Amino acid sequence: MPNVGFFWQVCSRTVQAMIEVVAKLGRGPVFLAGEVLECVITFTNPLSASSTSASSEMLAWASAQIHCQFHASENRVALPPSDGSKHDVQAENETVFVPNRGERGQCILSTPPKILFCDLRLDPGESKSYSYCETLPVDGPPSFRGQSVKYVYKLTIGCQRVNSPIKLLRVPFRVLVLHGLKDYQFPQDEAVAPSNPFLEEEEGLKKDSRLADLATELLMVATSRRSLHLYNISNTRGKVGTFCIFKTVYKIGEDVIGTFNFSEGDIPCLQFSVSLQTEESIQEEFQRRRGQPVSFTVHARHQEYCLHTAQSSFSLPIPLSSTPGFTTNIVSLKWRLHFEFVTSGESAGTCLVRGSQSEAVTWTGVEQMEVDTFSWDLPIKVLPTNPILASYVSQFSSTNSITI
């Protein structure tokens, strides 16, 4: 029994010594490059109802930093060797703040670390919150999880007790890149307008709001333009029909809508399919094998039998969780519509069958038919959308926590 009591006291003290760290992204886990990421980090010394004695807890320091981790498939991508010996030695030292310690791949982008506090004392039941703000770099890649490469963004919060190893809390988030934002200069009259020096943070939030409004305006202008794009569909035998689409620039979350007209075709179309695809290609100098094939991902697909159909249409949604087109020095991602057509060599594709003189004439499909197949690709452009809208379907949580 004495041993049991001693064991219970040790466990009780261990529970009391745990400090809760909670990080919350107030606006959601999706941001545009160039925006300000704001995260509130709360440190709590919980007061347990079963505790017989409670004491203050000390944290030596806490720091936060944003980094982008890059990982490539060894079977598809040939990267030059990197000298990471110095970094590896630091990563093994548990008293040095290395945000990407233990992560796969390479850290290709990071912001300067910011110290949240030094020598924090928390009484039982006490909590203290700190606000971390950082502008996301505009020259980084977007978040992307492809078949060949991955770009992953995280906010890492490191904290340490006295004479204890560093504990890391990682907050994953998504970054969308809209080209052209970094080249925009705000009007000079706004820059020289009178401002209150005691409201610098408020001014920063106003500028961030202007950036979001500008992005929304640029996206609206780019994706609202409509003009008739008409394409003739034909093979070696002749014309199959026409395809009509009113725009080729979209935002993620929009629907790609197109129509077919087979009434003017000389060759009957039996079946067609349309796939919304991304094409992930590795730049030539980083390909594992020369001339290796590109990787395709299907995001939506429409298939239809269309014999004797004069007109038809399709609507393919662009997922909010998908990545807009982009290019880096290693990988390129492009969007396209992939069409496949099955046509017949017969003029009508049917035959008449008369049962007897008293029976009505009936139409039936032929049992065998000679067919041809061919495909066609139409490139389209896919841009980001409002990050708040993309946050609704994000796989990441706005709140992450750890106990130390």
Structure tokens at 6: 């001693």
**For residue 242, what are its two tokens?**
């026409």
Q: What's the CA angle centered on 22, arms 21 and 28, to 5 degrees?
A: 155
Nearest CA-CA partner of 143 in 175, 172, 111, 106: 175
Cβ contact 6:14 at 8 Å: no
Q: What is the pLDDT of residue 112?
A: 94
CA dist 230 → 234, 239, 314, 317 (Å): 13, 14, 15, 21
For each of the chain's 404 residues, which pLDDT tens digit applies?
Answer: 445 444 444 444 444 468 999 999 999 999 999 999 999 999 999 887 655 556 888 999 999 999 999 999 999 999 877 654 444 444 555 667 888 888 888 999 999 999 999 999 999 889 999 999 999 999 899 999 999 999 999 999 999 988 888 999 999 999 999 987 766 554 444 443 444 444 444 554 555 667 778 888 889 998 998 999 999 999 988 999 999 999 999 999 999 999 999 998 999 999 999 999 999 999 999 999 888 899 999 999 999 999 889 999 999 999 999 999 999 999 999 999 999 999 987 665 454 444 455 566 666 666 778 889 999 999 999 999 999 999 999 999 999 999 98
Please report the pLDDT score of residue 381 as a whole number.
Answer: 96
- CA 67 to each of CA 136, 203, 363: distance values in angstroms, whole numbers, following the listed order: 10, 25, 67
Is pTM beyond 0.85? Reply is: no
Backbone phi, psi, residue 13, to 5°: -65, -35
- Angstrom distance (rounded) from CA 39 to CA 22: 10
Query: Could you tell me the CA-to-CA distances from 181 to 27, 203, 210 in Å, in that order?
Result: 20, 19, 11
Q: In 177-257, where does DSSP find H-type helix? A: 188-191, 200-224
Give me the pLDDT at residue 193, please: 41
Reported as type and span, the H/E element at residue 239 is strand 238-245
Q: Which residues contact 390 (CB under 8 A, 6 or more apart)?
A: 30, 174, 176, 252, 253, 320, 321, 384
